[in-house]
């Protein structure tokens, strides 16, 4: 029973943690760029990312699987049915959420404050840092939403990971397997572990958010 829970839990932490970290590194700068930019395609880009938020994860899993399959464009890399494939799929799932939330936060920032930052002689990088600091609460909300999306994902994880014991089996796919085979005690133990994990992550992020985001901001700045 212990290995049944611990191994999927550790794999879940690895896959979801890596995916959300990559998502932040990519998504926050893009979101800020879109939210603060002034160009014709801005509305189009926001529409695309808002639409992408609602794309079913299983569709993303299918696309990633087609790309990584032997006959796919990246088939030669041999990434199919590996944790890396799962990280790629989950990063794509979370990315629109982080970009969309960050762009909306940057757009909603007071224009007078933006002009004040610029008038004080801030460089472009300093300007973006200040905007990120001022919008830290909704950005942290984006982190919560993104992590919630990837940690609860089943379809894409199965399609690109294969639910291989000790290799690509995470908590969600393990729950499905144990339920299908009638091992309800194991399924309940796995479900409780998943609920506890999400609770701990949300408590940690909420504490950072309510304290003004100082720890998170120092980490990224």
pLDDT at 212: 57
Mean pLDDT by 10 residues, the chain (221 residues): 80 94 92 83 88 91 93 91 95 93 83 73 77 80 88 90 91 93 92 92 78 50 44
pLDDT at 1: 57
CATH class of 2-220: mainly alpha
pLDDT at 221: 44
pLDDT at 215: 45
DSSP string, the chain: -HHHHHHHHHHHHHHHHHHHHHHHHHHHHHHHHHHH--STTHHHHHHHHHHHHTS-HHHHHHHHHHHHSTTSTTGGG--TTSHHHHHHHHHHHHHHHHHHHHHHHHHHS-HHHHHHHHHTT--HHHHHHHHHHHTHHHHHHHHHHHHHHHHT--HHHHHHHTT-TTTT--HHHHHHHHHHTT-HHHHHHHHHHHHHHHHHHHHHHHHHHHTTSHHHHHHH-
pLDDT at 216: 44
Name the residue ranges covered by the structural domains of the chain. 2-220
pLDDT at 79: 93
pLDDT at 220: 43
């Amino acid at each position: 029973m212990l290995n049944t829970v611990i191994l999927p839990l550790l794999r879940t932490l690895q896959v979801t943690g890596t995916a959300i970290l990559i998502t932040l590194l990519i998504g926050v700068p893009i979101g800020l760029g879109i939210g603060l930019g002034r160009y014709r395609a801005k509305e189009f880009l926001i529409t695309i990312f808002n639409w992408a938020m609602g794309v079913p994860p299983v569709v993303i899993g299918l696309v990633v699987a087609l790309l990584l399959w032997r006959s796919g464009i990246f088939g030669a890399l041999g990434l199919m049915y590996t944790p890396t494939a799962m990280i790629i799929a989950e990063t794509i799932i979370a990315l629109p959420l982080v970009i969309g939330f960050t762009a909306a936060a940057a757009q909603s920032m007071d224009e007078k404050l933006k002009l004040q930052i610029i008038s004080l002689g801030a460089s472009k990088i300093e300007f973006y840092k200040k905007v990120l600091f001022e919008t830290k609460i909704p950005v942290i909300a984006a982190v919560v939403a993104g992590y919630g999306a990837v940690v609860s994902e089943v379809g894409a994880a199965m399609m690109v990971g294969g639910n291989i014991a000790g290799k690509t089996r995470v908590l969600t796919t393990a729950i499905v397997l144990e339920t299908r085979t009638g091992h309800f005690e194991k399924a309940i133990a796995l479900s409780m572990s998943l609920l506890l994990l999400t609770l701990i992550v949300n408590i940690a992020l909420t504490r950072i958010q309510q304290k003004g985001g100082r720890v998170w901001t120092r980490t990224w700045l």
